[in-house]
Structure 1
Amino acid sequence: MTRTVAVGLDGSPESRAAAEWAAREAELLEQPLKLLHVWEPVPTPMAQAPLLGPETQQHWTEQIPREAAEGLRLRHPGLDVSTEQVSGRPADVLVGAANDAELLVLGSRALGGIGGFMVGSVGLSVVAHAERPVVLVRAGEQAADEHEADPVGIPSAATPFRPVVLGLDITSPDDDLIAFAFAAAARRGTSLRVVHGWNPPYYCDTYGVTTDLGLREELARQESTALTEVLRPWREKFPAVDVSEQSPYGTPGAHLVDASSEACLVVVGRRTRRGPLGTRIGSVTHTVLHHSTAPVAVVPHD
């Protein structure tokens, strides 16, 4: 079965931005695009009201994906665009759609006047439970935002893509996460910037790592060497991808948020193991989701 790039669509500005991003990604992947419109049935007393009758509901739910699909076909000629309407709890429906897709794209409101996302409960639930990659796109995100500035300082779709940024924990690197980031960079013909933020083990504080610059430099060299070894086989698999490595000292999430300002896509992971309190997104991924200024791809892995 051919997988699709799926996108959750509700007519909001953020979902329209997600649909445009998903269309561009579907073209890069050479896969069909599916627009998924989920609506929750209103309670029976409300559904019987004159303005909320069955005809009104049907017209509204059909109009959103139909108009979006027509616009995308005009802007992306040759792209296979389909629509699907599903009634149910949005988070559950979208998780199911993600598991059947190559990836799922969702919109997220931008924080007013400040870089970053405002991720709602539905988006967080989908990210936490989906078995396939989920991409979050801010309202207002445009194709030019993914590209380098031209000689006069204006980003343009005619200029090269900005780098893809990968956040990587080298204590337990996962092949699915690394492969996703390398493939994303290769499709775009751009570089991959791998960021491994680290903090010393708690017992190192006994030896003054926070004040002993020599000790910190030695630990930094060890982290950098380990990162190089993790990436060595991937450089061989993707020789056309220019890879830069960074192992900065400090909070990993903060370093990735800083890197997002110059990225076309930030790729982070989420462990699929369930803890005693249920599924968790993880503190680094949670930070990136809420504060990245570039689209964020969350890749589930063991």
Structure 2
Amino acid sequence: MRHPVVVGLDGSRESLAAADWAAREALRRDLPLRLVHAWEGGVSPAESELPELEAPRYWARRILRGAMDRLNERYPQVYLSADQVPRSAPDALVAAGEESELLVLGSRAFSGIGGFMAGSVALATVAHVARPVVLVRAGQASEDEHLPDENGRPSTRSPYRPVVVGVDPAHRCEDLFAFAFESARLRAAPLKVVHAWRLPYMPTALEAKARRDVQRAAERALDAVLAPWREKYPTVQVTTVVEEGRPAQQLLDAAQDAGLLAVGRRIRPAKLGTHTGPVAHAVMHHVHCPVAVVPHG
């Protein structure tokens, strides 16, 4: 069964940018696109005749209809469907995400700050969906996925920007690598694999040798986990960045010119809270390009 790309819509600029990105991703993956709008009235809009629900029901229908019209005009090749779900936004999106190939959400921009804030709904959804979730900020356009043309101007005809993935070879990377390599392959884009390491505390006299040893060990560990993926995706150009430092900062630096950043999120048994891990949390708030958060065991 072919699962769709799913996008959550609330009528905001961020969710419309997410819908455009999701439509392009559906085209790349040859998948249908499903639009989901959460209806918090407690019953289906079609079942309720309460006058006080008429206005929000009208706006809910308008959000979906407007998005459908917009996407049909821009991406006529994509098979579209739309649903109003009578649940709270996090519950509706988590349920829809579980039946998706990937879930796409909009992200709000910080006022006067260069990063972006996922918001409580997106954070709650990312923390509980067992499928990849992509966060897209307002203003993202198709040309932002591509390098500038030879004259330095935005273009959709130039090659795709790199896909960047942050990994820790000490943890399971299969799902994260599968998403990152496939995303790079679909775009014919290079893949930059980033691994940051930290030196444990030790006497100063031992630091220089220990630093060299840890660097070499980190490089060998990353090469080992990458080897089967390089073989599986021979057309993907892979570069590695293995440096000492904080993982979040290394990813922020590496993603400055990226078209997509992918990070992992440890699946937690608890259903409460919105914990995503410090690295995923940091990049969701501060990276400009779309961010894919991929859960793993």
Q: What TM-score, normalized to structure 2?
A: 0.93
Matching residue of 2:111: 112
Q: Determine the structure 2 residue equivalent to 1:38.
A: 38
| 1:129 equivalent in structure 2 | 128
* Counterpart residue number, 1:272: 267
SS in 2 for 1:136: strand
Cα deviation code 1:25-73 (max 9, x no counterpart): 000010001110113229xxxxxxx9x7333232211111111111101
Please state whether the residue corresponding to 2:77 is helix, strand or coil.
coil
* Residue 61 (structure 1) aligns with: 60
CA, structure 1 residues 242+281, in 2 after alignment: closer, same or farther (shift >3 Å)?
same
Equivalent residue runs for 1:1-302 within 5 Å: 1-41=1-41, 53-201=52-200, 205-208=201-204, 212-274=207-269, 280-302=275-297
Please give the alpha-carbon distance, in whole angstroms, between the structure 2 residues aligned to 1:53 and 1:279. Answer: 32
Structure 2 CA distance for partners of 1:155 and 1:170, relative to 1, 3 Å: same
1:213, 1:154 → 2: CA distance? Answer: 45
Alpha-carbon distance, 1:279 to partner: 6.5
For residues 275 and 195 of structure 2, what CA distance do their matches in structure 1 show?
Answer: 21
1:218 partner amino acid: D
| Displacement of 1:278 | 5.8
Task: Check whether the contact 2:128–2:271 (CA below 8 A) recurs between aligned residues.
Answer: no
Q: RMSD over aligned Cα, in angstroms?
A: 2.1
Cα separation, 2, equivalents of 1:230 and 1:55: 55
| In structure 1, C-alpha distance between the alignment counterparts of 2:74 and 2:109, rounded to whole Å | 24
| Counterpart Cα distance in 1 of 2:235 and 2:255 | 22
- Partners of 2:204 and 2:272 lie apart in 1 by 35
Mapped to 1, the partners of 2:102 and 2:23 lie a distance apart of 12
Shift of 1:154: 1.6
Q: Give TM-score scaled by structure 1 length.
A: 0.91
Partner of 1:47: none
Contact 2:41–2:53 (CA under 8 A) maintained in structure 1: no
Write the distance in 1 (CA, Å) between the matches of 2:227 and 2:282: 28
TM-superposition CA deviations, 1:201-227 (whole Å, max 9, x none) = 3xxx22338x83343123212111211
Question: Which letter maps to 2:188?
Answer: G
Could you say what secondary structure the match of 1:160 adopts? coil
Q: Secondary structure at the match of 1:206?
A: coil
Aligned CA distance change for structure 1 residues 56 and 277 (closer, same or farther; 3 Å): closer
- Counterpart of 2:194, as a letter, is V
Residue deviations 1:94-117 (CA, integer Å, cap 9, x gap): 000000000100000122343321
Sort the Cα spacing of 1:57 and 1:114 in 2 relative to 1 into closer, same or farther, 3 A.
Answer: closer
SS in 1 for 2:257: coil
Match of 1:46 in 2: none
- Do the aligned partners of 2:172 and 2:296 also contact (CA within 8 Å) in 1? no
Checking the alignment, whether the CA contact within 8 Å between 1:257 and 1:293 is kept in structure 2 is: no
* Range with bigger deviation, 147-156 or 191-200: 147-156
Alignment gaps of 5+ in structure 2:
43-49
Q: Relative to structure 1, is the Cα distance of residues 19 and 276 closer, same or farther in structure 2, using a 3 angstrom cutoff?
A: closer
Over 3 Å counting, the alpha-carbon distance change for 1:293 and 1:223 in structure 2 is same
Q: Which amino acid counterpart does residue 293 of structure 2 have in structure 1?
A: V
Per the TM alignment, residue 277 of structure 1 is displaced from its structure 2 partner at its CA by 7.5
Please say if residues 274 and 280 of structure 1, whose CA atoms lie closer than 8 Å, have aligned partners that are also in contact.
Answer: no
Letter in 1 for 2:147: E
SS at match of 2:130: coil
Over 3 Å counting, the alpha-carbon distance change for 1:108 and 1:115 in structure 2 is same
C-alpha displacement of 1:119: 1.3
Shift of 1:87: 1.9
| Structure 2 CA distance for aligned equivalents of residues 112 and 150 of structure 1 | 30
Deviations 1:229-258 (A, max 9, x none): 110110000000000001110100111011
